[in-house]
Amino acid sequence: MAAELISIIPLILFPKIKNEKILKFIERNGKWLRKICVGTAAVLLFEVFICNFAAFDLIMPSSPERMILPVSKATISGGVLNGNELTLNQSEYASIEFVGVDHEVQTIYADIEIEGATDSKIDIAYSDETSKNYRYDAHINYIKNNENSKYIICSFSGKVGNLCFNVTAPENGSMTIKNIEINKNVPFDFSWLRFFIVLGFVLFVITLSCCHNMKKPCHNSKKLNTFNISSGVITALFMLIATFLLLIRGDMIYDLFENPDTNQINKELVDAFEAGQVSLLETPSQEMLELENPYDWSERLDAEVSYPWDHLLFEGKYYSYYGIGTVLTLFLPYHLITDKYFPTLWATFIYSIIGIVFLTLAYCAFVKRIFPKISNGIAISGLVIVQSTSFIWYCITIGNFYELAQVSGFTFLIAGMFFLLRANIFGEGKISKANIAVATSLFSIAVLCRAALALYCIVSLLFVYAGVKKIINTSENRTLKANKKSIFKFLLAALLPYVLIGSIQIIYNYLRFGSPLDFGIQYTLTIYDYQHIQFHIPLTLIAIFNYLFTVPDITPEFPFIKSNYNSLSVNGYYFLAGFSSTGLIFRAIPVLGYIFGKRAYKHGGNNKKIAALIVVSGCLIVPLIQMFMIWQYGYTPRYAVDFAWQMIFGAFVILFTLNRKLSLPMKKMMHIIFIASAVISVIINFSLTYEFVLDYGKNLNGVPIDKRSAILSFGRLFEFWNIF
């Protein structure tokens, strides 16, 4: 019966389609369509009756009468009263007291406006029939330009005797209170945005749960299948999220091409290279050169010398510490063509979008070429997990040269991984020399963007070794000379890009500091004196703990998941740039799959030794080394861009390998776990991104007040009980 009812909808919308085709489609997907209809109805009821519960609070005939409490009739201390409006400026405090209200209070509406801030809190004291003394447990949390945030529902007992509103103006703004109303109906507000977001989330879970056919592989070369379509849709959604994170920077993003946010990467290095030098055009002042220790921040501060922050000072010249990959691939060509400087914020966004696309491509290549028989549900859930936990979300909104270095390195590295997987080193098919050459070229450029990624180039040599073994094992009918020739061509394609592009970094280092392996960190003019900084094991544990094991805080306030950064009570200075912290084992639960590594190794197949070596070195040891090295830079969430997806991929190798040998019930259990992990991953990662943008990003390049208000209002959509 349900299937017949469902069939009416497409017949009405698409009358030209043959009824047989529709019925056949419904017959194949009846269970999924029924769940879609039930889910949609449930979300609609949720929006109307749960999210708008407050709107039905005063519809009963017995509801108390509405009453206006003019501010001019109150006892006021503080502020300036002008007619019936009370104005407070810059942190000014005022108390507004109404004596003898003698009325039941079911709702309170405060007609207030603020300038120079995004939100404000009004504390309400009241006396009711249970206490003549004031109680202090009622509040109005007002968001600028959000009318609904002016209301609260009250849970007072009987008639209220007195009401007192204690308000404080914003630190750098003003507040105006016009009047107070009690028992005013909370307006009904059907939010289509909230409806479609919740519906999309529900449909996502329903669709994944219906991918229950464990025998159905995710790869089908004959036609565009469910996995391909789903991967495209998921990637598009993450690209939309990235675009939104750019747009919250406000209208200023459109002016950046005329007035770019210039810095040492997109301008100073460009100018230096065009002038034919590796040192920057700006030279140190004599006062700077005469300092006893110019690398000591406090000494520079006390001397009040002018200098470029976070630059390198070496032998009387300034240099840039950050990589030249983006200079050579974007900023320098753009300036040579247009004579303008490309904005860093937009560059960070562009590299992020490319990175999102290649992360999907690399993951799809990984699944189709190595684990083609994994089920659609698990494969799609895995893509959601790895995209959600890429950590690039911490970079897009800020978009400074720090974030640019992270994102560009990530993009070239994951693009290189895509071509490396396409090279057919593992799996069936002839090895592609073109793909391996492109892969190592992109890996080399990634190192030019971010030197720490050189460790993955070392790991890639294991792929090269595996490629040589494959050539040897598949060349039984060829002569020894032909075999050597094939190996030579393969090694040439794989290693020549490292020699050619890697030599750029070596020469660049030598020209700057006289050593091919000196990247210059010890010459940095920043918070540390890197020439005297000492290594302490407790400092290394802070990063490892926060990146891997920190348990998130769960609260009833949007975004419901909050950071829980832990300094481990280490007695020593440790720099903190962005507190957003929750362990990777919570952001991406399948990372716990490393526990089953030994069991997976037993079922690893012919290449299990080299595969295990790649997973252990590239997905565990190198990420741990990177976390270990972070102690000298301090904690910031964006550093996880360097190692998060690698750790997740390694865990997938283990779990997908185990999946081959599991019984059908256990495969279904893994399917359920992956769906739950995908949902949790989206919630945790984007809750922490929301928190980061509000509490940290507002102080870096600034999120405009109007955009910040919109972000807070968006959060209030899902915190509908806030007015209770």
CATH number at residue 169: 2.60.120.260
Q: How many residues does the chain have?
A: 724
The runs of H, that is alpha helices, within 306-400 are 325-326, 332-338, 344-370, 376-388, 393-396
pLDDT band at 28 (very low <50, low <70, confident <90, very high): low
3-state secondary structure (DSSP) of residue 85: strand
Q: With CA atoms as reference, report the closest residue to 499 among 457, 453, 561, 548.
A: 457
pLDDT higher than 60, residue 329: yes
Same-domain check for residues 267 and 293: yes
Domain boundary among 465, 490, 515: 515
pLDDT over 80 at 674, yes or no: yes
Convert the pLDDT of each residue in 574-597 to its tens digit.
Answer: 888 777 889 999 999 999 999 999
Tell me, yes or no, whether 562 and 689 share the same domain. yes
Number of domains making up the chain: 5
Other CB atoms within 10 A of residue 510 CB: 14
Average pLDDT over residues 214-240: 73
580 and 668 housed in the same domain: yes
First to last CA, the chain: 42
Report, as an integer, the average pLDDT of 478-504. Answer: 85
Average pLDDT along the chain: 87
Please check whether residues 295 and 386 belong to one and the same domain: no
By CB atoms closer than 10 A (0-12, 13-18, 19+), residue 534 is exposed
**Is 481 strand, coil or helix?**
helix
Asked if the model's pLDDT at residue 428 lies above 80, the reply is no
Q: 323, 338, 353: which is the final residue of a domain?
A: 338
Residue type, 402: Y
Query: In sequence order, which residues have a C-beta less than 8 Å from that of residue 678 and are 6 or more positions away?
Result: 208, 380, 381, 382, 384, 385, 388
The whole-angstrom separation of Cα 71 and Cα 660 is 72
- Which range, 173-177, 241-245, 259-263, has the best average confidence (pLDDT)? 241-245
Q: Is residue 724 part of a domain?
A: no
Query: How confident is the model over 64-75, as a mean pLDDT?
Result: 89
The rounded distance, in Å, linking the Cα atoms of 522 and 515 is: 13
Q: How confident is the model at residue 2 (pLDDT cuts 50, 70, 90)?
A: very low
Whole-angstrom distance, CA of residue 414 vs CA of residue 467: 20
CA gyration radius for the chain?
30
Q: What is the pLDDT of residue 10?
A: 52
Distance CA 482, CA 657 (A): 35
pLDDT band at 36 (very low <50, low <70, confident <90, very high): confident
**563 lies in the same domain as 680:** yes
Report if residue 322 sits inside a domain. Answer: yes
Would you place residue 391 in the very low, low, confident or very high pLDDT band (cuts 50, 70, 90)?
very high
Helix (H) or strand (E) holding 655: helix 644-659
| 665 lies in the same domain as 570 | yes
Structural domain includes residue 60: no
Residue showing tokens 């519960």: 53
- Domain co-membership, 476 together with 536: no
Residues 127 and 157 grouped into a single domain: yes
Q: Tokens for 103, please give them.
A: 């009325």
Q: Which of 30-39, 45-54, 210-219, 466-475 is predicted least confidently?
A: 210-219
Q: Show Cβ contacts of residue 532 under 8 Å, excluding neighbours closer than 6 positions.
A: 295
Does residue 125 surpass a pLDDT of 70?
A: yes
Report d(CA 636, CA 334) in Å as an integer: 30
pLDDT given for residue 697 in this prediction? 55
User: Which residues constitute the domain of residue 222?
Assistant: 211-252+343-422+527-717
Between helix 622-629 and helix 644-659 the angle, nearest 10°, is: 150
Mean pLDDT for the stretch of residues 389-402: 91
Q: How confident is the model at residue 320 (pLDDT cuts 50, 70, 90)?
A: very high
Of 350-364, 487-501, 537-551, 629-643, the range with the highest mean pLDDT is 350-364
Which residues, including other chains, have CB under 8 Å from residue 234's CB and lie 6 or more apart? Answer: 360, 380, 383, 384, 387
Cross-strand partners of 166: 95, 123
Residue 223 has pLDDT above 50, yes or no: no
Q: Is residue 308 part of a domain?
A: yes
- 568 plus 656 within the same structural domain: yes
Q: What whole-number distance in Å separates Cα of residue 392 and Cα of residue 666? A: 34
> CA of 406: how far to CAs of 99, 315, 641, in Å?
60, 28, 7
Q: Is residue 382 part of a domain?
A: yes
Q: Enumerate the H helices of 156-295 as residue ranges.
A: 192-209, 226-247, 269-274, 286-289
User: Looking at residues 50-70, what average pLDDT do you find?
Assistant: 83
> Cα dihedral sign for 314, 317, 323, 324?
negative
pLDDT higher for 548 or 19?
Answer: 548
Would 666 be classed as within a structural domain?
yes
Same domain, 110 and 147: yes
What share of the chain has pLDDT > 90, as a percent?
51
Which pLDDT score is estimated for 494? 92
Q: Which long-range contacts (CB under 8 A, 24 or more apart) does 254-262 make?
A: 256/343, 256/345, 256/346, 257/340, 257/342, 257/343, 257/346, 260/340, 260/341, 260/342, 260/343, 260/344, 261/343, 261/344, 261/345, 261/399, 261/400, 261/701, 262/341, 262/344
What's the average model confidence in pLDDT over 247-276?
Answer: 89
SS3 131: strand
117 pLDDT above the threshold of 90: no
Residue 200 counted as domain residue: no
Please determine, for residue 13, whether its predicted confidence score (pLDDT) is greater than 70.
no
Q: What is the mean pLDDT of residues 259-279?
A: 93
pLDDT at 724 over 60: no
- E strand intervals along 72-226: 75-77, 80-82, 85-89, 93-98, 103-104, 107-115, 119-128, 131-143, 151-153, 159-160, 163-168, 174-182
Count how many Cα atoms sit within 13 Å of the Cα of residue 370 in the half-sphere of its side chain: 29
Whole-number Å distance between alpha carbons of 423 and 436: 6
Residue that has been written with the tokens 């879609």 in this structure: 36
Res. 367: pLDDT tops 70: yes
The answer on pLDDT for 261 being more than 80 is yes
Angle between helices 376-388 and 226-247 (to 10 degrees): 20
Question: What DSSP designation does 64 have?
Answer: P
Q: What Å distances lie between residue 672 and 75, 136, 215, 289, 628, CA to CA?
A: 61, 46, 15, 63, 34
pLDDT at residue 509, as a whole number: 93
Token pair recorded at residue 410: 């990530």
pLDDT at position 234, please?
92
650 and 693 in a single domain? The answer is: yes
- Please state which of the ranges 348-352, 448-452, 519-523, 706-710 shows the lowest mean pLDDT: 706-710
Q: Inform me whether the pLDDT recorded for 222 exceeds 60.
A: no
Confidence label for 392 from pLDDT (cuts 50, 70 and 90):
very high
Examine the fold and report which residue of 312, 338, 364 is the final residue of a domain before the chain moves on. Answer: 338
Q: Considering Cα of 272, then 275, then 281, then 286, what sign does the dihedral take? A: positive
Distances (CA, A) of 627 to 407, 498, 623, 643: 17, 25, 6, 9
Contact, 617 vs 673, CB < 8 A? no
Q: What is the DSSP string of 259-277?
A: S----IIIIIHHHHHHTT-
From the number of C-beta atoms within 10 Å of its C-beta (0-12, 13-18, 19+), residue 327 rates as buried
Residues 673 and 581 both lie in one domain? yes
Which of 127, 92, 119, 124 is closest to 108 using CA atoms? 124
Residue 618 inside a domain? The answer is yes
Residue type, 649: F
Contact in structure between 39 and 199 (CB atoms under 8 Å): yes
